[in-house]
Amino acid sequence: MGVAWNPPGTTLPGVLCGRGAVIRRPSETRLVASGVPPQPALSMSAASCCRHPLPQGQTLSRDIPAPAKRLSLPDGVPLPPGDYSTTPGGSVFGTTPGGTRFIYDRKFLMECRNSPLARTPPCDLPDIPGVTSPSAKELRSETNHAHNEEEKLGIGEEAQFDMDI
């Protein structure tokens, strides 16, 4: 139970529902990736973004949805090539022609929360009373308390937010 990003049974445009990384070309790069067929799921038909057609000659290069390639990687497997530490804060696959984007959907991100790697507090977490809890104890999470909150919010909730129950 929770807020659904994608209503069941629909494929929303521009959404890459798979877990893990998707290779995309950033806007700045006009290199054509070879051998990667366009993905029908990303075609422009019924795309919400197309309600607002791009002005001619402008920003079309920002989103080139066709040559997306999905990499399926099991949990815990580092993404290739594994040397991203050399480009902190920058394009992670700076050396890959065409570039890469790490795209994760909500479900995948939520699953990562349960990883042991995700549970210990950062060693440099500042202690701000009422805001952070640097102790090992996890603060109550949105996820764990979603049920309570929904109950508390009651009927009025459906009027504003469709819930995926």
Partner 1 sequence: MNNKFDALKDDDSGDHDQNEENGTQKDGEKEKNDRDKSQNSSKRKAVVPGPAEHPLQYNYTFWYSRRTPGRPTSSQSYEQNIKQIGTFASVEQFWRFYSHMVRPGDLTGHSDFHLFKEGIKPMWEDDANKNGGKWIIRLRKGLASRCWENLILAMLGEQFMVGEEICGAVVSVRFQEDIISIWNKTASDQATTARIRDTLRRVLNLPPNTIMEYKTHTDSIKAWEEFHGLVNSGGR
Site for partner 1 in 82-121 (CB under 8 A): 84-85, 88-89, 92, 101-106, 108-110, 112-113, 115, 117-121
d(CA 28, CA 56): 18
| By the rule CB under 8 A, 162 interacts with partner 1 | yes
Q: What distance in Å separates the CA atoms of residue 63 and residue 30, rounded to the nearest whole number?
A: 11
Q: Report the alpha-carbon distance of residue 5 to residue 105 in Å, rounded.
A: 9
Q: Which two tokens stand for residue 99?
A: 């570039």
Q: Within 26-55, which residues bind partner 1 (CB under 8 A)? A: 26-28, 48-49, 51-52, 54-55
Residue from 126, 151, 155, 165 binding partner 1 (CB under 8 A): 126
Determine which residue in the list 45, 56, 58, 72 makes contact with partner 1, applying CB under 8 A. 58
Candidates 130, 151, 155, 165: give the one binding partner 1 (CB under 8 A).
130
Contacts 24+ apart (CB under 8 A), 114-119: 115/75
